[in-house]
Amino acid sequence: MIAVEEIRRAREVLEGTAIRTPLVRLDVDSDTEIWLKLELLQPVRSFKIRGAGNAILQATDAELAGGVLTASAGNMAQGVAYAARLRGVPATIVVPEHAPQTKIDSIERYGGRVIRVPYEEWWQVLVTGRYEGANGLFIHPVDNDKVMAGNGTIGLELLEQLDGFDTVAVPYGGGGLLTGIASAVKQARPDVKFFAIEPETGAPATATLRAGAPTAVEYMPSFVDGSGSRELIPRVWEQASQLLDGAVAMPLLAVAEAVRLIAERTRVIAEGAGALAAAAALGGHLDGAKKAVCIVSGGNIDPAVLSRILVGEQP
């Protein structure tokens, strides 16, 4: 686990940068009480400001002398660009070709320099932490203890906001969000169950738990661009797997329906990855949960995609 002292330190560092997000009940007829942690209300419209902010705000001036670099499909990129601007240093962001334009526009609005590359090349940047011609401190979007400690501040808030929850469902991309939140919650309440929720178009955690050994999968880009991957990040999976009680791969249609339902019932807009956890809860996939918290991780969705979802289509 990430030490709770590091998570508490992250909360102090993030004061004035990340907000304490609301936790609201989803009004549905269900055997499970479904509560939504609205991370899409953060300044960059996703939880990523917590991890990126904690890592960059704690970095020394010497470490930031060449600026910062990250590899991200969009949300971490915005968090890194935003936090780099707070520190007054340049940010270079390597993104996969399928990254949605709304996220690219936001990165550039925060002052980040965007480099689009094929998915395979992007994955190599993620693995190696290097991109030829780009300098700067590499901020891994997942495999970074300060990033995960920043994510863990969500867990501290949950413990203060809601009594008696028995389950937390978390969108799973690389595992840093789940590891951070579960580290905070399970050190106080080890009985709480955690589920990793992935899109069926890229669900290596689900496949790995089923097989009992690390398992790569075929990855297909979709409107659920903030979660899912072709394979696990080894060090993070070693941590996350000790905190997990299960994993669920969700069909895209169910995710689109959850985006639409969240918009109708709460009047907030979740992106595909942000609706994954709610989709799993609504589908009854959380192993008999009575009171479940669903992390709505972000709200950066292309308007054209959203409009299709709202009229009942699957993008």
Which tens digits make up the pLDDT trace of 7-27?
Answer: 999 999 999 999 999 999 999
* Domain parsing of the chain, residue ranges: 4-46+145-310, 49-138
Handedness of CA 17, 23, 26, 30 (dihedral sign): positive
**∠ CA(186), CA(14), CA(293), 5° rounding?**
35
CA distance 127 to 82: 23
Residue 273 has pLDDT above 80, yes or no: yes
b/e per residue 1-29 (b: at least 16 CB within 10 A): bbebebbebbbebbeebbeebebeebeee
pLDDT for position 153: 98
CB 194 within 8 A of CB 243: yes
Average pLDDT over residues 85-109: 90
DSSP β-ladder status, 291-296 and 33-38: parallel
Which residues make beta-bridge pairs with 25? Answer: 35
pTM for the model stands at: 0.94
pLDDT for position 73: 72
Q: Which fold has domain 4-46+145-310?
A: Rossmann fold (3.40.50)
Q: Which fold has domain 49-138?
A: Rossmann fold (3.40.50)
Residue 315 has pLDDT above 90, yes or no: no
Render pLDDT for 21-67 as a digit per residue (tens, 0 to 9). Answer: 999 999 999 999 999 999 999 999 999 999 999 999 999 999 999 99
Structure tokens at 284: 């009854």
E strand or H helix that includes residue 31: none
Q: Lowest mean pLDDT: which of 25-39, 99-113, 133-147, 298-312?
A: 99-113
At a CB cut-off of 8 Å and minimum separation 6, what does 313 contact?
256
**∠ CA(92), CA(97), CA(100), 5° rounding?**
85
pLDDT for position 72: 87
Taking each helix axis from N to C end, the angle separating 48-58 and 75-87, rounded to the nearest 10 degrees, works out to 30
Tell me the pLDDT band of 127, cut-offs 50, 70 and 90. Answer: confident
CA distance 134 to 244: 36
Which residues make beta-bridge pairs with 33? Answer: 291
Residue type, 177: L
pLDDT for position 99: 81
pLDDT for position 19: 97
Which residues make beta-bridge pairs with 107? Answer: none
CA distance 85 to 79: 10
- Phi and psi (nearest 5°) for 273? -60, -35
